[in-house]
Amino acid sequence: MDIALYFGMHTAKPFEVKQTDFNLSELDEFVGGSWLTSLAIKVDDVEFVFNEVIISLAQEKNIVTTAMPGYDGTIKEFIGEGDYQITINAGVIAGGGTDSISDNDFVMPENRYPESELKKLQKILKKQTAVSVHSDFLEIFEIRSAVIQSFNLRQETHSNIQTIQIQMLSDKPFEIEQLEDNYVEAM
């Protein structure tokens, strides 16, 4: 079964990155839409590859609002960009989940339920750490790491594909440095 057909999209070649120098107004056109692409997710030594996924991105700004007495409305203070909310809609197929992504690869589903592929994917979904993500589409937004918030599977009537929806938040690794005790002097 063609995943694009399942989700009601016209079939086409997966999204490819042709240029890497985008300005902000061009990037805004991609946020909030759905894009057919491929995706690899990896944690530790376990990697799972979806050859066709539909990715949706959304992002909110972090804004602090303060109510002022005698003033209608609130004072807004822009703090920064929020995390990207990433929604992945995909199908796990029997014989899929290979260790490489290629636009020319077409995986013909085997005639069995994708139990072993789901067990491999479950190892990644159950990890309580950030996962590495690789997709041409996510690369535009410099998203290379994400935290899995939730996933949803629904029992299917056909036997060789299992649809899944994965909700993730983008993650940028950072380190918190501890200040020395004598850094702050007593007054």
For residue 11, what pLDDT band results from cuts at 50, 70 and 90?
very low
Residue at 27 is within a domain: no
Residue percentage of the chain with pLDDT more than 90: 32
How much is the pLDDT for 34? 60
Residue at 79 is within a domain: no
Rounded mean pLDDT, 13-27: 51
Classify the C-alpha dihedral 7-10-16-19 as positive or negative: negative
CB neighbours of residue 161 within 10 Å? 20
CA dihedral 167, 163, 27, 47 (to 10 degrees): 80
Residue at 80 is within a domain: no
Rounded mean pLDDT, 63-81: 88
Q: Which residue has the tokens 């009537």?
A: 157
How much is the pLDDT for 186? 55
Residue at 103 is within a domain: yes
pTM for this entry = 0.68
Higher pLDDT residue, 80 or 2?
80
Residue at 168 is within a domain: yes
Residue at 55 is within a domain: yes
Rounded mean pLDDT, 103-114: 69
How much is the pLDDT for 103? 46
Rounded mean pLDDT, 42-52: 89
Does the pLDDT at position 144 exceed 50?
yes
What is the tally of structural domains in the chain? 1
Burial class (CB in 10 A: 0-12, 13-18, 19+), 79: exposed
Question: In which domain, by residue range, is 59 found?
Answer: 1-16+38-63+87-172
Residue percentage of the chain with pLDDT more than 70: 70
How much is the pLDDT for 157? 72
CB neighbours of residue 55 within 10 Å? 26
Higher pLDDT residue, 28 or 48?
48
What's the half-sphere exposure (Cβ side, CA atoms, 13 Å) at 42? 14
Q: How far apart are CA 125 and CA 41, in angstroms?
A: 10
Q: How far apart are CA 37 and CA 54, in angstroms?
A: 6
For residue 169, what pLDDT band results from cuts at 50, 70 and 90?
very high
How much is the pLDDT for 71? 86
CA neighbor of 126 nearest in space, from 118, 114, 115, 135: 118
Residue at 142 is within a domain: yes
Lowest-pLDDT choice from 11-20, 102-111, 119-128, 154-163: 11-20
How much is the pLDDT for 32? 59
Residue at 178 is within a domain: no
